[in-house]
Amino acid sequence: MRKHLPLVLSALLLLASHAHLMFMLAPLDPDILAIQFAFSPQAYWWIIELWGASGLALYRAHFAWDNFHPFVYGAFGYLMIARTRWFDGRRLRRVAMLLLPVAGLFDLVENALQIFLLGQSHGVDSVLIPLSATCSLLKWGLIVMFAIVVGVRWVRQRQQ
C-alpha cells in the first residue's frame, strides 16, 4: 500500500481539483469548452459577450486554480504509469508516463494565451486565438489518448 500512497493521494487531489473547477465554472453558458475550442476571433469574442461581465469575471478568477490543475493531473498520470505494472514495454511505458504531463504543458500555454487575450481590446483579431484553441485541442487529445491507453492496458491486465 505504501508504494501506491502517492498515486492514491494524487488521484484524490485530482478528483477534488477537477470537481472544484467544474462547480466554479458551472454558471458559464456556453460552457468552458466552447471558448477552449473557439478557433476564430468572432467565435471567441461572441462567447465573451454571451458570458457578460459576471461570466468574464468568473472566467478570469478560475485561472488562479486552473494554473495549478495541470500539475495535479500531470503528476497523477505520471504516477499512474510509474506505480502500476500495467505497462511492461519500456517504450510504451515512457510514452504513457508523459501523456498527461505534456497535456499539462499545453494547458498552461493555453491558459497563458487566454489571460493575455483577455487583457487585449475586446474584439481584437489575433492569431493567438486559434493558437490557444490548438493548444486546447492537443491537451484534450493527449488526455483522451491517456484514458484509452490506460483503459486498454487495464482490460488486458484483467484478462490475464
pLDDT of 20 reads: 97
Q: Report whether 61 contacts 83 (CB < 8 A).
A: no
Question: Could you tell me how many helices (H) and strands (E) the chain has, helices first?
Answer: 6, 0
- From first to last of its 160 residues, what are the pLDDT tens digits of the chain? 677 899 999 999 999 999 999 999 999 999 999 999 999 999 999 999 999 999 999 999 999 999 999 999 999 999 999 888 777 778 888 999 999 999 999 999 999 999 999 999 999 999 999 999 999 999 999 999 999 999 988 888 888 7
pLDDT of 32 reads: 96
Whole-angstrom Cα Rg for the chain: 18
Determine the Cα–Cα distance for residues 106 and 86; give it in Å rounded to an integer: 26
Q: What is the DSSP string of 31-65?
A: -HHHHHT--SHHHHHHHHHHHHHHHHHHHHHHHHH
The whole-model pTM stands at 0.93
